[in-house]
Amino acid sequence: MKESLFLKGATKDLISLERNALQFQSIYLSCAELTLGKEQVDQVRPLIKSASEDLIAGCELARLGFLKQAYTLWRSWFEQAIFALYFLESPISRIAWKVEEEVNFGDKPSHRLMLHQLIAESGEKHQFAAVYNSRFNATMAAFKKSGIPGDQKILKRTERIFTTLSQGVHGTFRPKLPSGPEECAKALGQHGHRALKEAANVIGVYWVCFLTESLSLDESMLTDLRSGSLDPANPKYTAVEDIGLIAELNLPFFSIIGV
């Protein structure tokens, strides 16, 4: 009985992380439409859909104890989710990247979507990295968060997630398949929750930085969002257009960078 409850708890936690990641992504895109327009946002929805499918499939495998395979799919989700934001702000880069419906055996792919190489090879020199490094610092300052260690800044955390999840891709992470419910729950706790939670949080931080700037969120809004208490009925927000939609950021902001 205890094993069954333990597994339910571990599975429940994983499902919660998965649902939040999917829900938050939907809210981010809706808010992005406020400044970029629906047409531009719709251009990246296929990439987000592909990312979401990889997240869901990875979580299904993780619940069955296949953590190596889950890591592979989670890295694909992580990479595509961040690239979608990059393409939102750089439509010409999106147009330059193509996808293929068929594999050309024996040949290198004509188009490669590999954010881990972009960051590893370009570092802060790449425009995406440079912009988000600057936005991260500005956003943290707006949230009155200072003295953030270097290894907790956005680019370092991104690199660390790729390093972690790549262990599943390259086969250096090969955990044995759990023999029963208790081992499965233990594996989820040790290798599943932490990796997925950190990856989802990093994606969220990118979006927090983007939306803070693009929506011109003022100090009052940021304070309320960070505590998850922005009330669209508050008289101080009467003149704010689309405040109802902005209020949907309460849970994402609180979960990602809350007090």
What per-residue confidence (pLDDT) applies to 178?
Answer: 81
Q: What is the pLDDT of residue 255?
A: 93
List the structure tokens of 252: 């994402």
Residue 169 in any domain: the answer is yes
Query: How much is the pLDDT for 117?
Result: 59
Q: What is the DSSP letter of 178?
A: P
Residue 243 in domain: no
The answer to whether residue 107 is domain-embedded is no
In this structure, what token pair is assigned to residue 39? 């047409």
129 assigned to some structural domain? no
Residue 163 lies in domain: 2-97+114-122+143-206
CA atoms of 107 and 243, how far apart (whole Å): 51
Residue 239's CB: how many other CB atoms inside 10 A? Answer: 7
**For the chain, how many structural domains are there in total?**
1
Q: Are 100 and 84 in contact (CB under 8 A)?
A: no
Q: Please check whether residue 84 is in contact with residue 115, taking contact to mean a CB–CB distance below 8 angstroms.
A: no
Q: Is residue 61 part of a domain?
A: yes
Task: Say what the pLDDT of residue 1 is.
Answer: 34
pTM across the whole model: 0.86
pLDDT of residue 3: 42
Indicate whether 196 belongs to any domain.
yes
| Ramachandran class of 234: left when φ > 0, alpha when ψ lies in -120 to 50, beta otherwise | beta
Q: Which residues contact 160 (CB under 8 A, 6 or more apart)?
A: 151, 198
pLDDT at site 120: 56
Residue 230 placed within a domain: no
pLDDT the model gives residue 131: 83
Q: Residue 133: inside a domain, yes or no? A: no
Instruction: List per-residue pLDDT tens for the chain, 259 residues long.
Output: 344 444 567 788 899 999 999 999 999 999 999 999 999 999 999 999 999 999 999 999 998 889 999 999 999 999 899 889 888 887 766 766 666 677 666 666 555 555 555 555 555 666 777 788 888 888 888 877 766 777 788 888 988 998 899 888 777 777 788 888 788 888 888 888 999 999 999 999 999 999 999 999 998 999 999 999 999 999 999 999 999 999 999 999 999 987 6
